[in-house]
Amino acid sequence: MTRSALLLCLLLSCLPPLHAATVERVEPENWWVGMRHRQVELMLHGQDIAALQARIAHPGVRVTGVQALDSPNYLFVTVEIDDDATPGALEIELLDGDAVAARHPWRVDAREPAPPRGFDARDAIYLVTPDRFANGDPGNDSVAGLREAADRANPDGRHGGDLAGMRAQLGYIASLGFTRLWPTPVLENDQPGYSYHGYAITDLYRVDPRMGSNDDYRALSREARAHGIGLVMDVVLNHIGSEHWWMRDLPSRDWINNAGRFSPTNHRRTTIQDPYAAPGDRIGFTDGWFVETMPDLNQRQPQLARYLIQNTLWWIESAGLAGIREDTFGYADAGFLSAWAKAVMDEYPDFAMVGEEWSPNPAIVAHWQRGKANASGHVPHMTSMMDFPLHIALRDALLRPDTWESGWTPLYEALANDFLYPDPQALVMFAENHDTTRLLAHVDGDLGLWKLGMAYIATMRGIPQFYYGSEVLLRGPSERRDGELRADMPGGWAGDAASAFTGAGLDARQREAQAFVRRLFNWRREATAVHGGRLVHYVPEGGVYVYFRDDGAQRVMVALNRNDSATPLPLARFADSIGHAREATDVLTGARLPLGESLLLPARAPLVLELD
DSSP string computed for 401-454: --STTSTTHHHHHHHGGGGGSS-GGGSEEES--TTS--HHHHTTT-HHHHHHHH
Residue 537 lies inside a defined structural domain of this protein: yes
Q: 41 φ, ψ to 5°?
A: -100, 110
Burial of 448 (0-12, 13-18, 19+ CB in 10 A): middle
Are 499 and 601 contained in the same domain? no
Catalytic annotation, residues: 327, 356
Are 442 and 321 contained in the same domain? yes
Helices in 326-374 by DSSP H: which ranges? 334-347, 362-366
Residue 284 lies inside a defined structural domain of this protein: yes
CATH number of the domain that 519 lies in?
3.20.20.80
Are 189 and 64 contained in the same domain? no
pTM, to two decimals: 0.96
Are 375 and 348 contained in the same domain? yes
Are 513 and 540 contained in the same domain? no
Bridge partners for 545 per DSSP = 560
Are 504 and 559 contained in the same domain? no
CA 407 – CA 456 distance, rounded (Å): 15
What are the angstrom distances between the C-alpha of 571 and each of 139, 141, 539, 594, 595?
A: 60, 57, 14, 11, 8
Burial 65-84 (b: 16+ CB within 10 A, else e): ebebbebebbbbbbbebeee
Residue 151 lies inside a defined structural domain of this protein: yes
In one-letter notation, the amino acid at residue 66 is V
Residue 170 lies inside a defined structural domain of this protein: yes
CA 280 – CA 286 distance, rounded (Å): 10
Residue 226 lies inside a defined structural domain of this protein: yes
Are 282 and 256 contained in the same domain? yes
Q: Per the structure, how many domains does the chain have?
A: 3
Query: What is the reported pLDDT for 11?
Result: 44
CA 383 – CA 119 distance, rounded (Å): 10
Residues of the chain with pLDDT under 70: 1-19
What are the angstrom distances between the C-alpha of 499 and each of 157, 494, 496, 504, 505?
A: 22, 10, 7, 5, 6
Residue 115 lies inside a defined structural domain of this protein: no
- Tell which residue, 447, 488, 463, has the closest CA to residue 391: 463
Report the residue count for the chain.
612
Are 152 and 277 contained in the same domain? yes
Do 377 and 347 form a contact (C-beta atoms < 8 A)? Answer: no
Query: What is the reported pLDDT for 52?
Result: 98
CA 27 – CA 40 distance, rounded (Å): 10
Residue 120 lies inside a defined structural domain of this protein: no
- Tell which residue, 4, 37, 579, 41, has the closest CA to residue 307: 41
Helix axes 214-226, 302-319, angle to 10 degrees: 50
What are the angstrom distances between the C-alpha of 416 and each of 182, 240, 410, 420, 538?
A: 29, 38, 10, 9, 12
Domain termination site, one of 470, 494, 526: 526
Peptide bond into 28 cis (omega under 30): yes
Residue 105 lies inside a defined structural domain of this protein: yes
Bridge partners for 546 per DSSP = 538, 559
111 CA to centre of own chain: 24
Query: What is the reported pLDDT for 3?
Result: 52
Domain that holds residue 52: 3-109
Do 295 and 311 form a contact (C-beta atoms < 8 A)? Answer: no
Are 82 and 15 contained in the same domain? yes
Burial 156-181 (b: 16+ CB within 10 A, else e): ebbbbbbbbbbbbbbebbbebbbbbb
Query: What is the reported pLDDT for 8?
Result: 44
CA 484 – CA 587 distance, rounded (Å): 34
Bridge partners for 544 per DSSP = 541, 561
